[in-house]
Amino acid sequence: MMTLQGRRVLVAITGGIAAYKCVELVRRLKDRQAQVRVLMTESAQAFVGPLTFQAVSGEPVHTELLDPAAEQGMGHIELARWAEFMLVAPATANHMARLAQGFADDLLGAVWLAHAGQKIIAPAMNQQMWRAPAVQRNAAVLQGDEVLILGPASGAQACGDVGPGRMLEPADLLAQLEALCFRKDLHGLKVVVTAGPTRERLDPVRYISNFSSGKMGYAVAEAFAERGADVDLVSGPVQLSTPVGVRRIDVESAGEMHKEVMLLASFADVFVATAAVADFRVDAVAAQKIKKDASGLQLNLVPNTDILADVASLSEECRPFVVGFAAETQQVQHFGRDKLERKRLDMIACNDVSAPGLGFGSDRNALWLLWKDGSCQLAEASKKHLARQLVDHILEQRTRQGVHD
């Protein structure tokens, strides 16, 4: 069953330029067979007309506090009781303030106060507005009221600024809503995931790295968290939003990642190493920019510490169930099996990064899962879908191999 199938979602749209994205959001919710109703403030209607949302939702759009068409003339109470989830998107600075202070002189404020289900906002505003102390105070008040704040994302804004304040994309909001619907059967399970590339500095302006986007690792962290696990995500430099319910530790180099992982791993039940960690670093980082030389550039590279092997070598009483990843361009299962045995892993997920449209940078992937006495293939799918399958297989093999909490 789809996680949003039949779930009742009220999308409340306020007056920001990101309101246009909500057309796609409502369409995607309908595709997931959710029941969707739309509420629009007066300012939101200046950006997108109610008729558009009526067309994509298949339901009348709610705009008035005192609705003569509603039962007993109290449409705000009916809406509030109907909804399981109430999502305000985009949530402008003005409406964050109004919601934080409990104003109820318009339809949005009245429904918000009367709604007993999960309240969610997706902020969208200028980057300096988002950083303003007043906005941050209002965000803190809303979080204290158990409101889930999704985003904002960073990037180019309609005003020309660059920074935090962009509303999350519809696909990201949809994924977060789906996560709220998952069974919470992993409470108490401690998981550490690594993701993304590492960067090894050559000088103050250059570094060695790779093409990893971090998407697979973030999907794995999200898949554990959406089922209630306690997840730490040690991440190299990526352009991704932190999944809901995940603690994120940002690092740059392999050495920094090794330090953070080893602090966490001995307290974890499961360790999943999806990061594409640089195998080598220069023996000495230049203090000044290396100047161009006609004779070329020679680097003396030394091996980085092997994070995955070090976790797998922890003593039995504090060793987690260890899952590695192998990004290969040929003989995927052969090299994956070799890595599994050589590093004494419990499981390894292998993928062919040379396959068109899969692997690094893509939203899709395909995996071979290998363990000591078996294997299985996960067919091409979205990384989020594969991550959920992977979690199921990790839990199954962890039980079969006699690991208990």
**CA distances (Å), 290 to each of 60, 252, 294, in order?**
64, 20, 13
Alpha-carbon 58 to chain mean position: 30
For the chain, the C-alpha Rg in angstroms (whole number) is 24
Please list, in sequence order, all residues whose beta carbon lies within 8 angstroms of the beta carbon of residue 287, skipping any fewer than 6 positions away.
203, 204
* pLDDT tens by residue, 77-100: 888 889 989 999 999 999 999 999
Condensed to tens digits (0 to 9), the pLDDT of residues 289-300 reads 998 887 888 889
Question: For the chain, first and last CA: distance in Å?
Answer: 29
User: CA 155, CA 237: separation in Å to the nearest integer?
Assistant: 15
Q: Quick check: is 1 in a domain?
A: no
Q: Are residues 395 and 260 in the same domain?
A: yes
**Strands lying side by side in the sheet with 347-352:** 246-250, 230-235, 190-195, 270-273, 321-328, 347-352, 364-371, 374-382
Is residue 203 domain-shared with residue 77, that is, in the same domain?
A: no
Same domain assignment for residues 225 and 283: yes
Q: What percent of the chain has pLDDT over 90?
A: 64
Split into its structural domains, the chain has a count of 2
The per-residue pLDDT for range 339-353, each reduced to its tens digit, is 999 999 999 999 887
Q: Are residues 121 and 218 in the same domain?
A: no
- Specify the higher pLDDT residue, 23 or 382: 23
Banded pLDDT at 75 (limits 50, 70, 90): low
Give the Cβ contact number of residue 214 at 10 Å: 24
- What lies within 8 Å, CB to CB, of 175 at 6+ separation is 222, 384
Residue 107 lies in a domain: yes
Residue 300 falls inside a structural domain: yes
Statement to judge: residues 295 and 380 lie in one domain:
yes
CATH code for position 293: 3.40.50.10300
Both 32 and 157 in one domain: the answer is yes
Is residue 20 domain-shared with residue 163, that is, in the same domain?
yes
Say if 369 falls within a structural domain. Answer: yes
Q: Are residues 273 and 139 in the same domain?
A: no
Predicted local distance difference test score (pLDDT) of residue 70: 54
Same domain for 360 and 220: yes
**Residue 315 pLDDT > 90:** yes
Q: Provide DSSP, 167-212.
A: PPPHHHHHHHHHHHTS----TT-EEEEEESB--EESSSS-EE----
Average confidence (pLDDT) over 107-132 = 91
Whole-model pTM?
A: 0.63
Among all residues, which ones are annotated catalytic?
A: 159
Residue 378 φ/ψ, nearest 5 degrees: -105, 115
Which residues, at least 6 apart from 341, have a Cβ–Cβ distance to it below 8 Å?
none
**Does 111 fall in a domain?**
yes
The mean-pLDDT minimum among 170-179, 192-201, 306-315 falls in 170-179
Host domain of residue 68: 8-180
Confidence of residue 73 (pLDDT cuts 50, 70, 90): very low
Does 3 reside within a domain? no
Looking at 180, 211, 231, the residue that finishes a domain is 180
- Domain presence at residue 204: yes
CA distance 326 to 151: 31
Residues 114-132, mean pLDDT to the nearest whole number: 91
**Looking only at Cα atoms, what is the longest distance across the chain?**
85
Residues 232 and 361 in one domain: yes
Residues 113 and 159 in one domain: yes
| 154 and 233 both lie in a single domain | no
> What is the percent of the chain with per-residue pLDDT over 70, rounded to a whole number?
95
pLDDT at 1 over 50: no
**Do the beta carbons of residue 193 and residue 231 sit within 8 Å?**
yes
| Domain boundary residue, one of 153, 180, 207 | 180
- Quick one: average pLDDT of 172-191? 86
CATH number at residue 32: 3.40.50.1950
H or E element: which one contains 327?
A: strand 321-328
| pLDDT tens-digit series, residues 237-254 | 999 989 888 999 999 999
390 SS3 class: helix
Q: Is residue 199 part of a domain?
A: yes
Asked which of 158, 180, 202 is the last residue of a domain, the reply is: 180
